[in-house]
Chains A and B, each alone.
Chain A
Amino acid sequence: MLSSLGGVLFDGFAYGMLLFLLSVGLSVTLGMMNFVNLAHCSFAMVGGYTTVTLVNQLGWPFLASLPAAFASAAVLSIVFERVLFRRLYKASDLDQCLLTIGVVFISIAAFAWFYTTEQQSARVPAWLQGSLQVGGVTFAYYRIFLIVVSLAISGALIFLLERTRFGAQVRAAVDNQRMARGLGIDVDRAFMITFALGGGLAGLGGALAIQVVGLDPTFALTYLVYVLIVVSVGGLGSIGGSFAAAVVLGISDMAGKYYVPWLGAFLIYLVMVGLLMWRPLGLFGKR
């Protein structure tokens, strides 16, 4: 029991980092525009399939495909934001939900059409395979890589939001959109950039997830639930909250699967419902 605890904590933490990458963009954009974007994981899927195509069919190295996954998801999210989502910022929650669920359904069918419904994989370089044994605990190299990348990105994000002019504009828009507009901040532009950044990070998360959880067209729906849990438990617009929620969720999901497999996902949903009832605005939510 105890010897496995280290492994569960490590794997859970790596899994949590993945969830953080997938959800941080949604948290910030939801906090800014109150736009319930259930299609967020579809952008993650775009990144994942970009990597699969580049690595398996065009022979790109895995690492080089990661920025491409980021870019493709970011570009596509700008297109969707401009063409579709923009019109619904003032609409009801229900309309936003329905439209973005529609986009999820379309993306699932489209990827099933082009890539079949089979699980996809992408070759990773040899130095990312294998694992390290320390004191009976297995540390897979890929998961270490995942943690390092995610921590670096979190650091860069926090720097961007806390230390730069653009970050100040975003924070102002999240706190009070009308006031920010009144001060002359171009909220729409800030939002578009944030949306692209969030979509791109999701795409990167999708690409990195292939090795850990696999990739098939239902990814957009399966992981949507996890992403929504992270966002709503962490609190809208809070990067620290998303980080904490993702780590808690990753570790408890991994521990649940390891120690009480017969409970399935029951535990996760129970924790989510309980947390939401206790704090409807999330652990670190302000509004």
Chain B
Amino acid sequence: MITAASDFFQRQARVRPLEIAFWLATLLPFVVAPAYLSLASQIAITALFALSLDLILGYTGIVSLGHAAYFGCGAYAAGLLARHYTAEPLIGLVAAAIAAGLLGYATSHIIVRFRHLALIMLTLGLGLLVHEAANSASALTGGTDGLQGVKMAALFGFKFDLYGRTAYAYSLAVLFLVFLVARRVIHSPFGLALRGIRENALRMPAIGAPSLAHLRKVYTIAAVMAGVAGALLTQTTSTVSLEVLSFGRSADVLVILILGGAGRLYGGIVGAIIYMVARDQVSGMNPQYWYFWIGLLLVAVVMFLPNGILGGLSALHKKSQ
């Protein structure tokens, strides 16, 4: 029995050739499109943020309209640390992870007790609350002006330059490491329990799984990952704006994840690539009209492509076999 179970997990966790090809392809921008390295690092950061939402939304079924709270918490933690204490990027990353993790752990006690509309409203409310708090505490956070000119020290001797070479290498490396952690979590018995909770929240405690503890744990992990993504944004762009906490950011990351395919490890990454490249292509467009297409896309995805692009592709693949 035990070997059967471990066989199951090993089969699930096997590394497929397509995955290796994908991660090798992420190095291409260095050679093919050196002019777009800043965009590439933005994509890596957004992908990391979407991956963190995927853990709670895609795998556990916690719908969140306020995930930007943890992203922004990490961003401000990294920015404030760099301003007042040390400009060392890695220390900033750890500090942001701890700050977002603490906020995530504190709020997880509230979040896990609710479902449906109350849950959606609470995540929305907590997100707005953190946003307003940062806006009011302008002495610390700079209010609507944000924190400007956050200078970072060199990373292993590489300076953060205008071309974004260091920024992309740094963001990509962090994304890759966090992705490995997320992959490990998903393919562990804990990850299986999370999917069980998503499918039936009442039956899991009945077979002896500590549902609430699991939910708190995964929510905290996701918050830490979101905080790391926020810290990366601060460190690679040298600024923190109030926008990192806005409802728009929470909604964007949700759109990205749904577009790529929730409940799939690569869903957030694929969604982030498509979304960010598309937005860069139409960057001259008034943001008002950009959201018209996003709205149309959302309606279309919900109506015709319920599992996102990756879900649609894998359904096509199954059909062709």
Question: Chain A: residues with CB nearer than 8 A to chain B?
Answer: 30, 36, 84, 87-88, 91, 93-95, 97-99, 101-110, 112-113, 117, 217, 221, 225, 228-229, 232, 236, 262-266, 269-270, 272-273, 276-277, 280-281
Contacts and interface: CB of A to CB of B under 8 A. Distances in A.
A84 B296 CA distance: 12
9 contacts: A97-B120, A98-B298, A99-B303, A104-B295, A106-B292, A113-B292, A221-B247, A228-B124, A265-B132
Interface stretch (B95-103, B110-118, B189-197, B204-212): B110-118
Contacts of A229: 121, 125
Nearest to B126: A273
Given A229-B125, A263-B132, A280-B114, 16 more contacts: A84-B299, A98-B298, A98-B301, A98-B302, A101-B251, A101-B298, A102-B297, A102-B299, A109-B288, A217-B288, A228-B124, A232-B118, A265-B132, A266-B136, A269-B128, A276-B125
Determine chain B's interface SS by DSSP, over half rule. helix
Interface of B: 57, 63, 65, 110, 113-114, 116-118, 120-122, 124-126, 128-129, 132-133, 135-136, 247, 251, 254-255, 258, 286, 288-289, 291-292, 294-299, 301-303, 306
Contacts of B125: 229, 269, 272-273, 276
B136 A93 contact: no
B124 A225 contact: yes
Give the most central of A102, A103, A262: most B CB within 10 Å: A102
A47 to B, nearest CB: 20
Contacts, number: 116
Nearest to B289: A109
Nearest to B301: A98
A280 B297 CA distance: 32
Given A101-B251, A225-B128, A112 B288 contact: yes
The 8 closest A-B pairs by CB, nearest first: A105-B295, A102-B298, A109-B292, A106-B295, A266-B132, A280-B118, A102-B299, A102-B295
Contacts of A104: 295
Nearest to B298: A102
A264 B143 CA distance: 12
Contact of A269 (B129, B251, B288, B297): B129
A94 B296 contact: no
Nearest to A84: B299
